[in-house]
Amino acid sequence: MFFVDTIAEMGKFMDSGGDVLWAIVILLFVMWTLIFERMWYLRSMVGVDVQRALDSWEERKERKSKHAHQIREKLISEVSIEIDTNMMMIKTLVAVAPLFGLLGTVTGMITVFDVMAFTGGGDVKAMAGGVSKATVPTMSGMVAALSGVFGMTYVERIAEQEKNLLEDHLIMDH
């Protein structure tokens, strides 16, 4: 029974925010899917890529020349590209979330002005729906962006640590 009531309340909340709120929910789902994918990769799969780079470096007999230095940089770059996959998309979604909220504000205010035009501004109850459609998406867009900032910062910190560790382990002979 609790589950059914919760779903019903979520439906009311989604209706109070209008269509833009659904777009924010989709954006939030995609953003957190990408964040969790990066967390999974950094916790379980990055070691394979790092080990492959280390093995390739250790197989080299000569590690002093300029050519060896370029190969080292190539190995680091290849792993860094894998580590940074989807990070720009996550950053973009974090930046777009508050803009979706602002779009909800605009569409909600249009609803308020539309009601005011038809009723002469006297029907406060009718205007309340537009005000709700103006404020709920704004709040939701900000919550989505803030949660994304926390997730993105966490992933970026781990990614940077992994890249630094790789650079430290690929040692040039002097």
Is residue 163 included in any domain, yes or no?
Answer: yes
C-alpha dist (Å) from residue 79 to 24, 57, 134: 33, 13, 45
Write the pLDDT tens digit of every residue in 90-105: 999 999 999 999 999 8
Domain count for the chain = 1
Is residue 174 included in any domain, yes or no?
Answer: no
Is residue 50 included in any domain, yes or no?
Answer: yes
Question: What percent of the chain has a predicted confidence (pLDDT) above 70?
Answer: 98
| Structural domain for 67, as ranges | 2-169
The per-residue pLDDT for 174 is 62
Q: Higher-confidence residue: 109 or 23?
A: 23
Instruction: Indicate if the pLDDT at residue 87 is higher than 70.
Output: yes
The mean per-residue pLDDT over the stretch 108-134 comes to 78
Give pTM, 2 decimals.
Answer: 0.86
Write the pLDDT tens digit of every residue in 131-164: 878 889 999 999 999 999 999 999 999 999 999 9
CA nearest neighbour of 46 among 159, 125, 128: 159
Is residue 47 included in any domain, yes or no?
Answer: yes
What DSSP designation does 86 have? T
Is residue 16 included in any domain, yes or no?
Answer: yes
Q: Are 137 and 21 in contact (CB under 8 A)?
A: yes
Is residue 46 included in any domain, yes or no?
Answer: yes
Is residue 104 included in any domain, yes or no?
Answer: yes
Instruction: Indicate if the pLDDT at residue 73 is higher than 90.
Output: yes
